[in-house]
Structure 1
């Protein structure tokens, strides 16, 4: 049996609890006002008390924040592992494709050697190159050239091809003892015989002092496709055939435009290549021999 005094305590506490619940909001407002008044009267004491309360709760807050930080780190690690796994799978697939292309290239190379031996084909002309650094781009509205740190003393000759990265940049037009000037593909004075790699349509690529070049002398019914690669044709003895120049960026009523393979505004180093083509300007003259 429960003692009688506990029941009487419960009966006495019930009205007090109801009273506290009824006036709790008012009591909180009064307590807030009192704390504000105390803060106005004795700000130092309030700041000191606030600092002590903060110090007391700091270890608790730190303990609460650690699991959250740990969980975030774990989630980030899982995401990184997932990304690494996906990248690994992509690289494996790309490696498998490259191995297939390698086998195809080796087979074609062997077949090419066999056919050349049967046809007694003339071998490709030998080539040599000089690597030079671009030190100036003295271009204007009427001239687009680059100046490189290689000249006659390094073996640079007028007419040599200038190549950077994945494609042709231009040709050497002026040679000094210590430097040389390269005329870019986009210059208005540039004319290069080219061929569309897929359709085998021949044309002349001309610069117009813009960031792209245009193709001239294409038949109206030529099957030109956007994205088709453009390479040198070898005609005229200026460049050997097959040097990559750019890709067709647009084809319409305003003509065919070609985007060069190389960003000509960001070239830092060039290879000045001498292909020793018969009748080319890059061949040393009899006076220099």
Structure 2
């Protein structure tokens, strides 16, 4: 059926009714807008009801009228994004490259902060004064392993002071000058460190041979060490304080017991030098001076003093006196004297 044969095609809306309806709708909308825009008498009930009704009537109309605008804006943004995708991609790539550089910087700073915290949290029992330093030069060779730290005589560093990183013992100071100290590592061929096995308390000497894992020598006892045992400083000889972490025991390719150093877990860039000289500085001298010796307990048995031996003294005195010829004596008979009245023999007289 064509449009001409449509029964509704002859239906015509009177122009007067159409204009009246449009005028009425516009009049109602205008009145609602005017009422909603008033600023006086906000508190009256009549205005409150009128504004409520106008808001309900305008909400769907405003939503319908704003929908084409929203669709148009979204379409424009889509077309703009499509045509400008290449330039946006280049901008994002440049920004990503810059952010990757900042990411690397942030990771490095985070690692340094963690190492600083671990190094500053290093404590010994009993407490030992420490000095923080940074490794400035690495001297390596087939047999020599030593490093320079930027802390010297002005900070109280002396030869023999132990050097530790945040993970464990590094070595000891062998030379000091103003602003610089030389650290002999545990792997140097001249390094000898008294250590003990934490599990068995067995003593040994950690000997460097130029390699990454020094040897354990002079072990004593039945089965003194096993693979994985912790190694600590023993404090023998007073060179190092007791209990500093050194590493763990491993079996070398040559069949000898060696130590994987704990300081090798991270690069040795920052160290702390222990101002340790001997065990006397670990004692609290003020507290020891305040202590008093308790008096002896009443009724306790005491040993009597030894009595002098007269014959021995006489013999000694007789030997010390010079020998003289006996003088002639005249023997006369006399009454015998009682034994109680007899005088004891004196030195230098003969019976």
TM-score by length of 1: 0.51
Q: Residue 236 of structure 2 aligns with which residue?
A: 235
Alpha-carbon distance between aligned partners in 2 of 1:279 and 1:183, rounded to the nearest angstrom = 24
Q: Secondary structure at the match of 1:262?
A: helix
Question: Which runs of 5 or more residues in structure 2 are unaligned?
Answer: 1-78, 83-124, 282-351
Q: Residue 131 of structure 2 aligns with which residue?
A: 130
Q: Secondary structure at the match of 1:153?
A: helix
Is it true that 1:248 corresponds to 2:213 in the alignment? no
Is residue 156–residue 272 contact of structure 1 (8 Å, CA) maintained in 2? Answer: yes
Q: Residue 142 of structure 1 aligns with which residue?
A: 143
Q: Which structure has the larger Rg?
A: 2
State the 1:144 CA deviation: 0.2
What is the correspondence of 1:162-201 to structure 2 with a 5 Å cutoff? Answer: 162-201=163-202
Is it true that 1:273 corresponds to 2:258 in the alignment? no
Is residue 135–residue 150 contact of structure 2 (8 Å, CA) maintained in 1? Answer: yes
State the 1:278 CA deviation: 4.1
State the 1:192 CA deviation: 0.6
Q: Looking at secondary structure, tell me which structure has more strand per residue.
A: 1
Question: Which runs of 5 or more residues in structure 1 are unaligned?
Answer: 1-58, 63-123, 281-289
Alpha-carbon distance between aligned partners in 2 of 1:260 and 1:180, rounded to the nearest angstrom = 22
Greater relative CO (CA pairs within 8 A, separation 6+): 1
Q: Residue 263 of structure 2 aligns with which residue?
A: 262
State the 1:223 CA deviation: 3.5
Alpha-carbon distance between aligned partners in 1 of 2:201 and 2:241, rounded to the nearest angstrom = 16
Q: Looking at secondary structure, tell me which structure has more helix per residue.
A: 1
1:233-284: CA deviation from partner (whole Å, max 9, x where unpaired): 110000011111010011687210110001188210110001342489xxxx
Is residue 125–residue 275 contact of structure 1 (8 Å, CA) maintained in 2? Answer: no
Q: Residue 23 of structure 2 aligns with which residue?
A: none
Q: Residue 159 of structure 2 aligns with which residue?
A: 158
Is residue 202–residue 233 contact of structure 1 (8 Å, CA) maintained in 2? Answer: yes
Q: Secondary structure at the match of 1:188?
A: coil
Alpha-carbon distance between aligned partners in 2 of 1:229 and 1:185, rounded to the nearest angstrom = 16
